[in-house]
Chains A and B, each alone.
Chain A
Amino acid sequence: MAEFTMPSLGADMQAGTLVAWLKKPGETVKKGDIIAEVETDKGVIEIESFMTGVLERTLVEPLTKVPVGTVLAIIREEGKPATVSQPVVPAAGTGRLKVSPAAKQLAAELSVDLSAVQGTGPDGAISRADVEAAAAQAPLAPSPAPRAGEAGDRLLRMRQTIAAAMARSKREIPHYYVGTTIDMERALTWLAEENLKRPVKERLLYGVLLLKAVALALREVPELNAVWKGNEVVRSEARHVGVAISLRQGGLIAPALHDTDKQSLGDLMRNFRDLVNRARAGALRSSELSDPTITVTSLGEQGVESVYAVIYPPQVAIVGFGKLVERPWIVDKQVVPRSVLTATLSADHRVSDGHRGGLFLAAVDRLLQEPEGL
C-alpha cells in the first residue's frame, strides 16, 4: 500500500490543483502511467504513477488545490487485499496557521495564499522566506476551462515562481562562473554531412550535440551532476539534463531529457523535439519537472554571445551556450575563419570549484571536437 501524493515539481512549488483523475479506483496502473493532471504555475502537468498496482481510492476531488505532500490517492500492490477507506484531510486545512506579522504583510503584498504555504519554522510557523518561496501561489482558477485573463494570470504566476526560485538561488548558492570559447567547425561540418543522410524528420539540430557533450562531460566531473538537499550534496548516478525552453506565451520551463548521456543522437533529437513540443503545448510529465540533475540554457538564437545563468535550485550547476559567430581563429599558426561559440558554467562553490568547472568545460570542448563519437 502506498500513498500517491501531490508531487513537488520544482524547488519552489508549494501547492497544486488536481485538475482530473485519468484512472478510476479499481483500475490497474503501471509504473510510469499517467494517472492524474495537476495544474501548477508551469501549466497543467501529467502526473505519473511511481509504482505498479491498483488505484485503490482517490482522496482529493478534482479542482481542489492542496499543498505538496498531500495524499491524493492510495495505490495498492496487485494481489494485496483492499483496505477500509479512511478519509485524509489536507494539511492546509488543519489548525490555525502560525504566521509572523512580517510574513503576513509580505503575503498580502505578493498575493500569496497562506493556507497553501508550508512553514519551515518552529511548529510549522510560516516565515518571510517561506512566503517569498511561495510567491507564485496566488489562488488558482476554480476551473481549468479557459477564461478571460487566465493566460495573463498564469504568466504572472510563472514570473513570480521564477523570481522566487532565482532569488532563493542567489541568496543561498555561492555561484562561481567560468567560460570558454569552443571552435565548432568540426562539429558543424560533421553535422551537415550527417544531415545529408537523414530524412527531414530525423535531421539533427546542433543543440543536440551540445546536450550530449554536456551529459558525457558530467561523467568526468560528476560533482556537477547533483542536487543540494538539506546541508549536503547528493550526486546523481543518472544524467538527466534539463533544457531551458522558452514558452510562446512567455516564461520558461526546464524539463529533463532523461538519461541524456545514454541516448544516441537520433533518439536524443527525437526526444528533444517531443519535449519542446509538449512543453509548449502544456503537456509535460511530472518526472520531467522533478528529475533534472543539471540545466542547459542557450540564448544564441536571441543573439546573445555569453550566458551567465543562475542555478536552478536544488541543482548545483547550469551550462550556458551563446550564439554561433564567425571569428578569426589561429590553426597551425594561420589565421582562419571559424564558427565558434562561448560556453559558460555557473556552479555552486559549496560543491565544486573553478578548477573542476574548468575541467568540465574542457571536456565539453574536447567532446565537440570529436562529434562522430557523441
Chain B
Amino acid sequence: MTPKLTCDEITTTVLRALGEIAPEADLAAIKPDVSFRDQLDIDSMDFLNFVIAVHEALRVEIPEADYPKLITLNGCVAYLSALLAEKTSA
C-alpha cells in the first residue's frame, strides 16, 4: 500500500522536480496559481522532464490528457493528492 502523503509533502516533491528542470529558479517565489511556463520560461521538453520527475518520485501514472491539470503548483497538488488517494484506496 502506498503511504498517504500530505499536501506539504506533495508540494515539496513538485518543487524539487521543478528545481531539476529550472535550477536557477527561486522556488520559494513560485506563485501557486500562476502557470509554471509563465514564471519559469519552460518549454515542452522541460515540462515532459517535469512530468517524468514527478512520475518517478511519486510512482504515479499521469495520462497525457491530464497534463493541463499540472500547469500550476496548486493544480499539481490538487491533482496529485486525488491521484494518490485513489491509488491508496485501490
Task: Return chain A residues, CB-CB under 8 Å to B49.
Answer: 273, 277
| B28 interface hit (Cβ, 8 Å) | no
Residue in B closest to A300 when the chains form the complex, CB atoms: B44
Per-residue interface assignment for chain B, residues 60 to 72, with 1 indicating a CB less than 8 Å from any chain A CB and 0 otherwise: 0111110000000
| B22 interface hit (Cβ, 8 Å) | yes
CA distance A276 to B45 in the complex (A): 8
CA distance A280 to B50 in the complex (A): 15
| A355 interface hit (Cβ, 8 Å) | no
Which of A195, A200, A205 is the most central at the interface, judged by chain B CB atoms within 10 Å of its CB? A200
* A151 → B minimal CB distance (Å): 9
Per-residue interface assignment for chain B, residues 33 to 54, with 1 indicating a CB less than 8 Å from any chain A CB and 0 otherwise: 0000000010111001101100
Counting contact residues on chain B (CB < 8 A from A), the size range is 10 to 19
| B8 interface hit (Cβ, 8 Å) | no
* B76 → A minimal CB distance (Å): 15
| Interface size in chain A (residues, C-beta < 8 A) | 17
Per-residue interface assignment for chain B, residues 1 to 27, with 1 indicating a CB less than 8 Å from any chain A CB and 0 otherwise: 000000000000000000000111000
The reply to whether B45 and A196 contact each other, CB–CB distance below 8 Å, is no
* A305 → B minimal CB distance (Å): 17
CA distance A273 to B48 in the complex (A): 9
The reply to whether A246 and B43 contact each other, CB–CB distance below 8 Å, is yes
Which of B23, B44, B45, B55 is the most central at the interface, judged by chain A CB atoms within 10 Å of its CB? B45
| A86 interface hit (Cβ, 8 Å) | no
At the interface, is chain A mostly helix, strand, loop or mixed? helix
The reply to whether A207 and B22 contact each other, CB–CB distance below 8 Å, is no
The reply to whether A205 and B61 contact each other, CB–CB distance below 8 Å, is no
Q: Identify which of residues 181-214 in chain A touch chain B, using a CB-to-CB cut-off of 8 Å.
A: 192, 195-196, 199-201, 203, 205, 207
* A17 → B minimal CB distance (Å): 24
Which of A246, A248, A276 is the most central at the interface, judged by chain B CB atoms within 10 Å of its CB? A248
Q: Which of B23, B44, B64 contacts A192 (CB 8 A)?
A: B64
Q: List 7 A-B contacts (CB under 8 A).
A: A195-B64, A200-B51, A200-B52, A205-B44, A205-B45, A248-B41, A301-B44
